[in-house]
A = this chain, B = another copy of it.
Amino acid sequence: MSTSALPSQSRDFPAWYGEVVRRAGLAENSAVRGAMVIKPYGYAIWETIQRELDDRIKATGHENVYFPLLVPASVLAQEGKLIEGFAPEVALVTEAGGKKLDEPLAVRPTSEALIWSTYARWVQSYRDLPLLYNQWANVVRWELRPRLFLRTTEFLWQEGHTAHETEQEAVAEALTILHDVYADTIENVLAIPVVRGRKSESERFPGAVDTYTLEALMRDGKALQTATSHYLGQGFPRAFGVRYTGRDGREHHPYATSWGATTRLVGGVVMAHGDDRGLRLPPRVAPHQVVIVPIVRDDDRAEVLRLAAAVADELRTADVRVRLDDRSEVRPGFKFNEWELKGVPLRIELGSRDLATGAVTVSRRDTGEKQQIPLARVTAAVAELLSDVQASLLESARAELERRTLRAPGGYNELIEYLRDAVGFVAAPWCGREECEAQVKDDSSATIRCLPLDEQQPERGDCVCCGRSAATTAMWAQAY
């Protein structure tokens, strides 16, 4: 690990991000451009996210399945908007088993096509509905400007694909996933506050009637789309010939949803909470919630290590994820820096003075605060502190989101200036026409991140761009 300081966030956020991801051991580039190697520390974070999402996906009645990686090009092309949207990013297998294939196989960029062509066999009667399936998988999208976790040629995700009898049921499903699975995980586990909204038409998933999204604010003022849930209407069922006999004895197409969250969330955790010293991990997602650093002298080494191990055991018994850093080849100061860089929420220092006084020093990564805790109270204090760190990170990110959101800008110029400087979100009335959306993008390179679900009524009557009567409130920002 390099011991030099990280680039400053405020001076060069992209350089800071790249260095933190690399030095904290989250991920690195591979021999294939744009495809990353996820290292143990980064993968441990992803595993926690997976577990949390998976528990909620199952709790809301879904089952996991697995569909093939390779999709015949003709199947992928069967739904017009999907292929139009993904064609520029598809990777094609043209040879296999030593022979040229009769038909190229696409490496799945998403699985709607293969899944709906299969659902055609699974759905005959309304009794077969709903289908509530999810899969954990890798997908490949040929990215021109790859960036670790945020935009990679291959990424890991879950993708849910459901089929319903009624439109109402399908829309409710898409929203249940948005709120109860994604927002709950992202806010309460990753401590990242999100704006819940729907996408404007130009930003919708190819083939979707409505794309619901959770937009978060990173510490450089740019937005990150953290997860999306799509109400797909009947387009895919129609394109793939999925029909069922309804309660009325007649043939119908089911209504569809799909929804996904990816390894991008790991990048979100880095950029939503990290500071100039490195990561600041929310305890619920931290691979190590507590690191114990013994401070030893030649004459008390055995005794200090024994105590450190006892504290570690006690915490483990209380289901705290503890790392005891008993390396002898590096000094405590080096360890402090390393675990700060890696964002471990709490550090316990423990030396001979503590042996004498019966108390240890506990430091919070998020605030830097230190306190002396009597040994007898360590486990209880750690539990309280962890829950406090978790809440504080969310609270301070929420305050930051509020502070950086400009509501009702004075006029078009203020909107553009704010967006150009990437200060944060602007919430402003919009007429709903693509011309205005494109105009703002041309002038600022910012996009409409979403039309917030809880503010469908415009705050003022007139579109911030054209002055026509506004149809909705839009949230604009620069985005990843």
- Given A93-B93, A142-B96, is A105 in contact with B70 using a C-beta cutoff of 8 Å? no
A93 to B118, CA, bound (A): 24
Q: Which residues in chain A, 95-135, are within 8 Å of chain B measured between CB atoms?
A: 95-98, 104-105, 107, 114, 117-118, 127, 133
Q: In the assembled complex, how far is the CB of residue A150 from the closest CB belonging to chain B, in whole angstroms? A: 16
Partner-binding segment picked from A35-43, A295-303, A305-313: A35-43
Q: In the assembled complex, how far is the CB of residue A330 from the closest CB belonging to chain B, in whole angstroms? A: 10
A71 to B154, CA, bound (A): 12
Q: Which residues in chain A, 52-103, are within 8 Å of chain B measured between CB atoms?
A: 63-72, 75, 87-98
Q: Check A95 against B91 for contact (C-beta < 8 Å).
A: yes
A376 to B443, CA, bound (A): 74
Q: Check B94 against A95 for contact (C-beta < 8 Å).
A: yes
Q: Is residue A329 within 8 Å, beta carbon to beta carbon, of the partner chain?
A: yes
A interface, size bucket? 35 or more
Q: In the assembled complex, how far is the CB of residue A231 from the closest CB belonging to chain B, in whole angstroms? A: 23
Q: Which residues in chain A, 134-161, are within 8 Å of chain B measured between CB atoms?
A: 137-138, 140, 142, 144, 153-154, 156
Question: Which residue on chain B has the smallest CB distance to residue A105?
Answer: B32
Q: Is residue A417 within 8 Å, beta carbon to beta carbon, of the partner chain?
A: no
**CB neighbours of A92 from chain B (8 A):** 93-96
Q: Is residue A30 within 8 Å, beta carbon to beta carbon, of the partner chain?
A: yes
Q: Which residue in B31, B90, B114, B142 is a CB contact (below 8 Å) of A31?
A: B114
A206 to B104, CA, bound (A): 29
- Hey, which bits of chain A sit against chain B, CB under 8 A? 30-32, 35-40, 43-44, 46-47, 63-72, 75, 87-98, 104-105, 107, 114, 117-118, 127, 133, 137-138, 140, 142, 144, 153-154, 156, 329
Q: Can you spell out 18 A-B residue pairs with CB atoms less than 8 angstroms apart? A: A30-B114, A31-B68, A31-B114, A32-B68, A32-B72, A35-B69, A35-B70, A39-B65, A43-B63, A46-B66, A70-B107, A70-B153, A89-B97, A91-B97, A93-B107, A94-B94, A96-B140, A138-B138
* Sample of 15 more A-B contacts, CB < 8 Å, known A32-B72, A46-B66, A93-B107: A31-B72, A31-B118, A32-B71, A36-B68, A37-B65, A40-B63, A43-B64, A69-B107, A70-B140, A70-B153, A89-B97, A90-B97, A92-B95, A93-B94, A97-B142
